[in-house]
Each structure stands twice: as structure tokens, then as C-alpha cells.
Amino acid sequence: MKLLLRQHLESMKERDGLDVLLPQLLSELGYEVIHRPRIGGRQAGVDVAAVGPDPDTENKKSLLLFVIKSGNVGRADWDGSLQAVRPSLGEVIDDYIPNRIPEQFRGLPITVCVCMGGEIEEGIRAAWRGFVNNNTRDGLSFREWNGDRIANLILSGVLTHQLLPPTQRANFQKAIALVSEPDESYQNFRALLDDLSDGLQPDQAGTTRLRQMMICLWILVTSGFDAENLDAPYRACELAMLHVWDAVRQCPERKRKRYAERWEIFQNVVSLYLSVGQAFLVDKIGPHAGKRFALSAAVQSRSPMDVNLSLFDLLGRLVLLGHWHHAIACRAEGGEAQVHLAKRDELLDLAIQTINNNPTLVAPMRDDHQIEIAMLTSLAQSCGRLENVSGYLEEVANRIAYGYRRRSHWVTCFREYQHLARHPIDRSDAYFRRSTIGSVLVPFVLVALDRLGKSGAQAQFERDIQDTLAHSTFQTWVPHEKTADSFWKAGQSICLGIALGLQSGDGSNASMSSEIANICSMHGRILEWEAVQRGLYPLVLTACRHHRLPVPPQFWVDPAS
């Protein structure tokens, strides 16, 4: 375990890495963190400041000032630029200590700690000792917090035997070791999260588990970067967001300090998700989205089904990340908002390129591909570019109707891989009815075409499904009053809401769009959820995609932002 932590710490970056991990670790160990890293503005050399027992002075209460650097500290890191260690230490002595220490902490002994994931290299250790000897005085000392020390603190304070029982340690170690086998790694990490969050209470012990969860997630992500395989880390980030948000919403806001701690952990997990998504989807996969059949070939399977399922999964990831950037932009201001809007637009462009260059995406195989298509439509609406996906929706409708008419590889409600691999077994009426007994995709396509103003395509699609799917039940899914208690962490086998049958698809005069509008007004509880109220509607889409639950009609075209 220590070797894994040591390797993880050495490879962590300074920004959005050690500077996020260290405050969480200090808080867990009982320190009061009074200064955290921030982007923009001068920090006078100090990345993190905390008040607590100094382990090098018999645990005497002290003010610890941390200067953080990534990896090993070599000659260039010591005095090679204005951001190097020695100039930063000079700023701490000349600016932070005399001018920036809060009044209530001015009487405490001060310990300046150079914190790094690696260690101080031998080539500059003499220079480090000389600096320490020249600047140490009564009430001011200097310490080296290297990766080995931080790993020991993590093991003693966060990942002890009492907090990580053998079953959890086994799941964690398997998730790390099998990171190049994404399915196995994800399943083990999911088991770890389920154990950690099982019965999690809104108390300090629950917050400790969340920090523990976050540190484990960081180690998995770093292992994924080292192995150049980010599939499992991406899926783990999605699931961790849902687990942490469930813990945030269960903590009463009146417990302000604890709620703030959990909210900070949630923000850190979202930040990690955005970083992994950028590296995985935009930087690694994005350059190939514009190449004809490149992503289809990358699936490395001769089975059209494998290609179809993999490409729809990728499409869902792209548009979900776009929704997160849109939601963050709506909460941000100025330049930060523009950065996220640009990334949102880039992800929609990548999704459209992926569709244009991989024709399998116009022919969904599973009825629950409604999730990906609905998220794409709502993201296009957020970008003001519905016209860019209208042709895609028309073609999807044509392919669905063609498959039903010809009974050739039609969209089925089956989800299990073994059933899909054999689909269609035959073209008999009995099998056709069984494989199309219900649909959430068909009503979505009907409503989307109507809202896009494609009345001709909608009328033709409606005639086709009335001729071929008279036996089918058209449905939509909405949460009920208890959905939020199990929605965020639940698996596929748990009933989480209400499936409502729709009458408009049976040839009646009622409009599907008006019926959906009535359902939205009658079952609008989801819009009262804290996540939606706070502008975090992508959490709902994340849960739907991750747990394969249909996107509720409130999010079909207009996201609840």
C-alpha cells in the first residue's frame, strides 16, 4: 500500500494535485486549514497554511506554512525561476510572515514546510541545509515534507487498518492493479465505494470516509494516467461524484462547517472528473473524431454490435462532459465562464464529428440509447445549435422505422449482452413482440421531431410505428417522492421511479408532445431537487447514464439549467 501511495504522490502535479490533496489530508489529521490554494492573486509563497500540532516539536501547537512542488526538487526547481522553491521561501519570510498571518495566530511558532511528492535531490541538499541554517531563528523553523512522509501520514491518519478493513483494501488494490482491465478495475472500485458509503451518516466519521474515498479515487486516476488507460478512472469519477453528492445532500445545511467540508470534497471530485474527461475524451479520443471510421475501427471487434454499443457509450460521455461545462459556465463569471462555454462547444463539435464519421450512431440497437440521444439534443439546445442535430434525429427515426418494417436488426428493449448478441433470433411475430414490448426511445423521437418543427418526418414516423408497434407500450420515466433517497448510488435492479404509459402512440388524436408536457407539469418534483435548484442538473444526467435510467422528460430538449 505504501509503495502505491509513494508512486502516486511522486507523479502528482502541483496544481490540482498536491495542492488539493494536502488540505484534505491536514483536515483529516486534525489541523485547522486557514489558507488554501487559489488561482489568481499573489499568495506570497504560501500554498497552504494550517494550525495544529507540529510533529517535529513534540506536537506543540504551531502555524505550518506549506510551499508545494511536484515530483523531486532538483537544481532548476530550487532556484531556476521566480516560481522555484528558494524565491518562494524568500516571499514567505519577507511578505507572508510579517504581513499576512491572521492576528489570532501571530503568537504561534512558525514552521515553513517544503512539501513535495518526491524528495529533495542530493545535488541541492547542501543548499537547502545552508538556507535553513541561515534563516532559522527563535519561533521560525523549516521542515521537509517529502513523499515518504506524506505517504506515512496517509497510512496512519486516513487509510489505517481500522478505516480500511481487509475486504476494502483488497478491492482497492485490485482496482489499482487491474486499471488496464477497465471492467474489472471499475467493478472493484465500485465495491469499494459501496462499502465506504454504506450507512454513511452526516457526522464527522462520514466526512472522513468521503476524504478516504477521494484519496483512493486520486490514486486510481494517477494509476490510469501511468498505464495510459483512463477508461476505469473516468467511470470511477462519475460514480464517485454521485456517491459524494448523495452525502452532501444528506448533511443538514445548518451544520455549516461539515456541509462546507463535504461541498469542498464534491467540488474536488467534479474537478478531477473534468480533468480526466479532458485528457481522455478531448485530448486522447478527440483528434480521431474527425477521421472516417477511425473510432469504429478502434473498437477492434468484427461485431457490429460491439461497435454500436461502444460508440454510443462514447457519445454519451462526450455530451455529458459538455453538459457539465455548460452548468459550470452558468454559475461562473467573466473569463472562467467563457472558458467553459468554449469547452462545451468543442465537445458538441466532437460529438457531431463522431456521428458524421461513424454511421453506426444513426442506428441505435438498444432502446435505452434514448439516454445518449436525449442528452445530445439537450446539449445542442444549450448551445443554441438544435439545427445541427435535427438531421441526425430524422435519420435515427428513419432507421428505427426501417428496422421495424423489415424486421432487420430492429431496436430492442433487451439490454443483456448475450441477448443482444443473438438478436434477432428470428423474425417471428412472437419474438418481435417480446423484443419490442415497450419503448422509451420512440416517444422521445416523436417529441423531439415535433419540437424541432419536423412535422413531416414526425407524421411519417408516427404512421410507421402505428403500423408495426401496435402491441408496444410507449413509456416515459419520472421520479417519485422517494426517488432521491436511492437515485444517486443505486444499481440497475432497483425501481427508482414511475414508468408512465403514453396513449398518443396508439393512433389517438392526442399529441405526444402535449401529453409529455402534461406529465412534466404533474410530475415536476425532480425540478425541486437540490441538485437542480443549485444548477447542477448534469448530476441527474450522470446518474441516468451511469445507472442506465431513461432521461426524464424535463430534460429531453431544454436542460433544467
Residue 535 grid coordinates:
444548477
pLDDT of residue 496: 66
Averaged pLDDT for residues 289-298: 96
> Into how many domains does the chain fold?
3
> Does residue 509 register a pLDDT over 50?
no
Are 42 and 136 within one domain? yes
Contacts of 335 (CB under 8 A, 6+ apart): none
Averaged pLDDT for residues 363-387: 96
Are residues 217 and 237 in contact, defined by beta-carbon separation less than 8 angstroms?
Answer: yes
Are 450 and 542 within one domain? yes
Which of 9, 126, 5 minimizes the C-alpha distance to 70? 9
Question: Does residue 271 form part of some domain?
Answer: no
> Does residue 492 register a pLDDT over 90?
no
Question: Does residue 283 form part of some domain?
Answer: no
Domain range holding 312?
296-555
pLDDT of residue 561: 41
- Per-residue pLDDT tens over the stretch 245-274: 999 998 887 778 888 888 988 998 999 999
Residue 382 grid coordinates:
444549450
CA angle centred on 20, ends 113 and 7, rounded to 5°: 75
Averaged pLDDT for residues 170-191: 93
Question: Does residue 276 form part of some domain?
Answer: no
If one counts every other C-beta atom within 10 angstroms of the C-beta of residue 166, the result is 8
Are 151 and 216 within one domain? no
Averaged pLDDT for residues 395-421: 95
Residue 479 grid coordinates:
421520479
Which of 37, 5, 49 minimizes the C-alpha distance to 154? 5
**Domain boundary residue, one of 126, 157, 188:** 157
Mean pLDDT of the chain: 88
Per the rule left: phi > 0, alpha: psi between -120 and 50, beta: everything else, 54 is beta
Averaged pLDDT for residues 510-525: 85
Q: Which has more confidence, 359 or 513?
A: 359
- Per-residue pLDDT tens over the stretch 84-100: 899 999 999 999 999 99
**Domain boundary residue, one of 128, 157, 186:** 157
Supply the CATH number for residue 88's domain. Answer: 3.40.91
Are 546 and 428 within one domain? yes
3-state secondary structure of 331: helix
Q: How distant, in Å, are the alpha carbons of 51, 154, 264, 531, 550 from that of 333? A: 33, 36, 19, 20, 32
Question: Does residue 289 form part of some domain?
Answer: no
- Crossing angle (nearest 10°) for helices 441-451 and 387-406: 140
What element of type H or E holds 208?
helix 204-227
Q: How far is the C-alpha of 238 from the C-alpha of 496, rounded, in Å?
A: 19
pLDDT of residue 81: 83
HEC assignment per residue over 26-90: HHHCCCEEEECCCCCCCCCCCCEEEEEEECCCCCEEEEEEEEEECCCECHHHHHCCCCCHHHHHH
Question: Does residue 502 form part of some domain?
Answer: yes
Are 366 and 494 within one domain? yes
If one counts every other C-beta atom within 10 angstroms of the C-beta of residue 401, the result is 24
Question: DSSP labels for 160-181?
Answer: -TTTS-HHHHHHHHHHHHTTTS
Q: Which has more confidence, 209 or 357?
A: 357
pLDDT of residue 471: 92
Q: Which has more confidence, 348 or 260?
A: 348
Q: How far is the C-alpha of 406 from the C-alpha of 313, rounded, in Å?
A: 26
If one counts every other C-beta atom within 10 angstroms of the C-beta of residue 379, the result is 27
Identify the DSSP state of 228.
T
Are 373 and 483 within one domain? yes
Question: DSSP labels for 239-250?
Answer: HHHHHHHHHHHH
Are residues 173 and 24 in contact, defined by beta-carbon separation less than 8 angstroms?
Answer: no
Question: Does residue 285 form part of some domain?
Answer: no
Are 146 and 244 within one domain? no
Phi/psi for 293 (5° steps) reads 65, 10
> Does residue 396 register a pLDDT over 80?
yes
Q: How far is the C-alpha of 28 from the C-alpha of 199, rounded, in Å?
A: 20
Q: Which has more confidence, 11 or 397?
A: 397
Averaged pLDDT for residues 4-23: 73
Q: How distant, in Å, are the alpha carbons of 152, 175, 212, 235, 322 from that of 160? A: 10, 18, 10, 26, 38
The confidence band for 162, taking pLDDT boundaries of 50, 70 and 90, is: very low
Chain length of the chain: 561
pLDDT of residue 511: 80
Residue 265 grid coordinates:
470534497
Are 119 and 215 within one domain? no
Are 176 and 112 within one domain? no
Lowest mean pLDDT of 38-47, 321-330, 402-411, 454-463, name the range: 38-47
- Per-residue pLDDT tens over the stretch 109-159: 999 999 998 899 999 999 999 999 999 999 999 999 998 888 888 776 555
Lowest mean pLDDT of 279-283, 354-358, 535-539, 557-561, name the range: 557-561
Averaged pLDDT for residues 289-318: 96
Are 192 and 307 within one domain? no
**Domain boundary residue, one of 102, 134, 157:** 157
pLDDT of residue 532: 93
Are residues 213 and 240 in contact, defined by beta-carbon separation less than 8 angstroms?
Answer: yes
Are 60 and 143 within one domain? yes
Question: Does residue 279 form part of some domain?
Answer: no
> Does residue 41 register a pLDDT over 80?
no
3-state secondary structure of 206: helix
The confidence band for 377, taking pLDDT boundaries of 50, 70 and 90, is: very high
Are 236 and 331 within one domain? no
Question: Does residue 560 form part of some domain?
Answer: no
